[in-house]
Chain A
């Protein structure tokens, strides 16, 4: 009810996850469950679209950070785009996630993902 998520698998290993509403004590378990499915599979990146996210608490940050760690372990990318000012502020003051994972637009985040994928391909050896 208070958190609405849409997940769009882009086909190139990029999962676009739009989160809308409130990510807090009440709703964090719901997102955690939804992300588990993605993280269990073959994922190259999760990109969160956050323009509709109005409220974020430490319980929500916990899930985002957990996802960041899981993706890092898989040598996959964690990206966030379109954060409302108050959400960005909470992430900033919590010092919970690397600032370089925050992008001002979806296009910017996806371009970064594409560039990094190309780099991996060009370098010839994958993450084995």
Chain B
């Protein structure tokens, strides 16, 4: 796995890789490879099936959201993703140099509308909110940084 980085020495454990990093070009076709790599990383640690599913889904939602909405200039951009596996949680960080956008304060979909009248799409951030125990956003140095925290025992 070319993109796997030397791990930050964190939690006391000489087990498998505890952190994972990858650079993803802003192309939806690139998401699949990143997800499969993240899946192998998760499988290398003691991560239960539900937590693994939630983490994969969170990464996909966060990254596709950036690719779909952050860039309007038609140029190539790189999205940085990083994950750390702690004893009780997984922390995922997604950073990009796209337009400023804070998913944490984005309004939720209007669930009062009858199903037939709801717009198609726009559920990604809502899912992220539900899957994570904490979400934090920061804009610094012209970059968006989104931090997602997920419980290992949800």
Name A residues whose Cβ lies closer than 8 Å to a Cβ of B.
2, 24-26, 55, 57-59, 61-62, 65-66, 68-69, 72, 86, 90, 93-98
The reply to whether B120 and A65 form a contact with Cβ atoms under 8 Å apart is yes
The reply to whether A58 and B127 form a contact with Cβ atoms under 8 Å apart is yes
* Cβ of B69 under 8 Å from chain A: no
List residues of chain A with CB within 8 A of the CB of B116.
69, 72
List residues of chain B with CB within 8 A of the CB of A55.
53, 56-57
Closest Cβ of chain B: how far from A78's Cβ, in Å? Answer: 10
List residues of chain B with CB within 8 A of the CB of A2.
32
Closest Cβ of chain B: how far from A69's Cβ, in Å? Answer: 6
The reply to whether B64 and A25 form a contact with Cβ atoms under 8 Å apart is yes
Q: Told that A55-B56, A69-B120 touch, could you supply 10 new A-B pairs with CB distance under 8 A?
A: A25-B32, A57-B127, A58-B61, A58-B127, A69-B116, A72-B116, A90-B57, A94-B127, A95-B111, A97-B115
Task: State A98–B109 Cα separation when bound (angstroms).
Answer: 15
Closest Cβ of chain A: how far from B35's Cβ, in Å? Answer: 8
Task: State A59–B126 Cα separation when bound (angstroms).
Answer: 13
Task: State A25–B124 Cα separation when bound (angstroms).
Answer: 11
Task: State A55–B55 Cα separation when bound (angstroms).
Answer: 12
Closest Cβ of chain B: how far from A94's Cβ, in Å? Answer: 5
* Cβ of B89 under 8 Å from chain A: no
Chain B residue nearest to A68 in the complex (CB): B115
List residues of chain A with CB within 8 A of the CB of B118.
65
List residues of chain A with CB within 8 A of the CB of B136.
none
* Cβ of B31 under 8 Å from chain A: yes
* Cβ of B142 under 8 Å from chain A: no
List residues of chain B with CB within 8 A of the CB of A98.
115
B residues 1-60 with Cβ under 8 Å of A?
Answer: 28-29, 31-32, 35, 49-50, 53, 56-57, 60
Picked from A25, A62, A66, A97, the residue with its CB within 8 Å of the CB of B60 is A25
The reply to whether B50 and A86 form a contact with Cβ atoms under 8 Å apart is yes
Task: State A94–B121 Cα separation when bound (angstroms).
Answer: 11
A to B CB contacts below 8 Å, 5 in the list: A26-B29, A58-B123, A62-B120, A65-B118, A69-B116
* Cβ of B75 under 8 Å from chain A: no
Chain B residue nearest to A56 in the complex (CB): B57
Closest Cβ of chain B: how far from A83's Cβ, in Å? Answer: 14
Task: State A69–B120 Cα separation when bound (angstroms).
Answer: 9
The reply to whether B32 and A26 form a contact with Cβ atoms under 8 Å apart is yes
List residues of chain A with CB within 8 A of the CB of B28.
25-26
The reply to whether B127 and A93 form a contact with Cβ atoms under 8 Å apart is yes
Picked from B29, B32, B53, B123, the residue with its CB within 8 Å of the CB of A86 is B53
